């Protein structure tokens, strides 16, 4: 009986090890999807109201949840303490904190967006936001395809690994 219970626990742990990459990939997908939505909201508000960037960021921090909420909340807090003049540096440091959830291309696009927010004409800011949304959309679809093609593989490999350990121990 003890061998049976131990075997089941080893197989379950193998499945859980196989699930870890799937969970990490899911976090990236959720963050990217939420960031795309937040940037679309930013673009819409900027286009409609011509609201200053700090107020836009405050609105996004209050409206969105998860890591994106924290991303904009940190930016807004730092803008309040360091001033609007430092918005590019503040934005870049916030992107760096979330870089593990982004590809190099997506991270670069977000950093570049921080360089233009509040510094150029509204039309140029809208174009920069649109460009960043396009890159993040592409990254989102790449992640989604990767998830659909690799999730079963990771879980199956974890299960097989757990079964092999059970076989070797028996």
Specify the pLDDT at position 135: 94
pLDDT for res 51 = 83
Is the separation of the CB atoms in 31 and 68 below 8 Å? yes
Tens of pLDDT, residue by residue over 18-70, are 667 777 888 888 889 999 999 999 999 888 888 888 888 888 888 766 778 88
**pLDDT at position 133, please?**
93
What pTM was estimated for this model as a whole?
0.79
As for how many domains the chain has, the answer is: 1
Contact 82, 60 (CB under 8 A): no
| Cα dist from 1 to 8, 28, 133, 165, 169, whole Å | 11, 41, 56, 17, 14
Task: Tell me if 79 sits within 8 A of 109, measured CB to CB.
Answer: no
Res 162 pLDDT > 70: no
Q: pLDDT band at residue 17, thresholds of 50, 70 and 90?
A: low
> pLDDT class for 130, splitting at 50, 70, 90?
very high
CA distance 2 to 58: 57
Percentage of the chain lying above the pLDDT 70 cut: 82
Q: Which domain holds residue 131?
A: 2-169
Q: What is the pLDDT of residue 148?
A: 73
pLDDT-based confidence at 132, cuts 50/70/90? very high
Distance of CA 21 to the CA centre of its chain: 15
Distance, in Å, from the CA atom of 69 to the CA atom of 75, rounded to the nearest integer, reads 10
- The predicted structure's pLDDT at residue 83: 75
| 72: its two tokens | 């904009």
């Amino acid at each position: 009986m003890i061998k049976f219970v131990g075997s089941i626990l080893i197989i379950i742990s193998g499945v859980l090890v196989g699930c870890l990459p799937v969970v990490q990939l899911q976090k990236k997908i959720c963050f990217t999807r939420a960031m795309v939505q937040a940037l679309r909201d930013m673009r819409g508000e900027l286009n409609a109201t011509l609201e200053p960037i700090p107020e836009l960021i405050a609105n996004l921090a209050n409206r969105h949840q998860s890591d994106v909420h924290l991303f904009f909340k940190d930016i807004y807090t730092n803008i309040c303490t360091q001033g609007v003049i430092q918005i590019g540096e503040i934005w870049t440091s916030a992107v760096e904190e979330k870089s593990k959830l982004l590809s190099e291309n997506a991270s670069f696009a977000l950093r570049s967006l921080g360089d233009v927010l509040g510094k150029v004409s509204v039309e140029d800011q809208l174009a920069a936001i649109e460009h960043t949304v396009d890159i993040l959309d592409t990254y989102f679809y790449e992640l989604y395809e990767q998830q659909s093609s690799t999730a079963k593989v990771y879980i199956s490999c974890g299960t097989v690994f757990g079964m092999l350990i059970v076989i070797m121990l028996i």
